Amino acid sequence: MRAHGHFRDEEERRKWQDPEAILLDIGLMGGFTFVDLGCGDGFFAMPAARLVGKRGRVYAVDADRKAVARLKKKCAMEGLGNLTAIAGRAEEIIFCQACADVVFFGIVFHDFNNPAAVLENARIMLKAAGRLIDLDWKKQSMELGPPVETRFSEEEASRLIRSVGFRIETVKESGPYHYMIIAKP
C-alpha cells in the first residue's frame, strides 16, 4: 500500500472492503444513475456499472489521469458502455442536473481541496429523492489509510454535509476501518 490511502492492488483492498456488498447495501439497482466522485481506477465505479446494467449510467471523475486511463481500459475490456469516466477535479465537475440516484464518495473526502464545493456539485446532480453516500475512514490511528489528522470524523463530515443543505439520514459503521453517512438533499 502506498501512502494516503491508495492501494497497490484491488485484491489487497478487497480483503477489508467489499464494493459489491456496499453498493447493494445502499440500494443500488438496475436502471439507476450513479456518480462516483474520486473514483480512482474504478474500485466502486466498475461494480456499480455492472449493478445498474445497460439501462443505468455511471459517471466517474478523478484528478489522477493515470487512474482514469486504467478505468477506461478496464471498461473497454469488459464492454461496460454505461460508464463515463473523466479526469478532472470534483470541485469543477457537474455531469448533469438532477439526474443521479446516488452520488458516492468512496474513502476520498479528505482528498478534496474544497469538500464544500464538491458537496454543492453533488446536490446539483442528485435527484430530489437521490442519496449522497460518504464512505470514509474512521478518524482513528490505524495502519491503513491517510494520516489521521487529514481524516474527517463522522461529526465533522456530517456537519459539512448539513452545511450545504443535506439532511443526514444515517451514520453507521462500514467494516472495521470506515463509517458511512447517508444523506438526502
**Are the C-beta atoms of 180 and 161 separated by less than 8 Å?**
no
Number of residues in the chain = 185
> What are the tens digits of pLDDT across the range 17-46?
899 999 999 999 999 999 999 999 999 999
Instruction: Determine the structural domain holding residue 36 and report its residue range.
Output: 3-184
CA torsion sign for 78, 107, 119, 93 is negative
> Could you give the number of structural domains in the chain?
1
pTM equals 0.93
Supply the CATH number for residue 131's domain: 3.40.50.150
> What are the tens digits of pLDDT across the range 127-172?
999 999 999 999 999 988 899 999 999 999 999 999 999 999 999 9
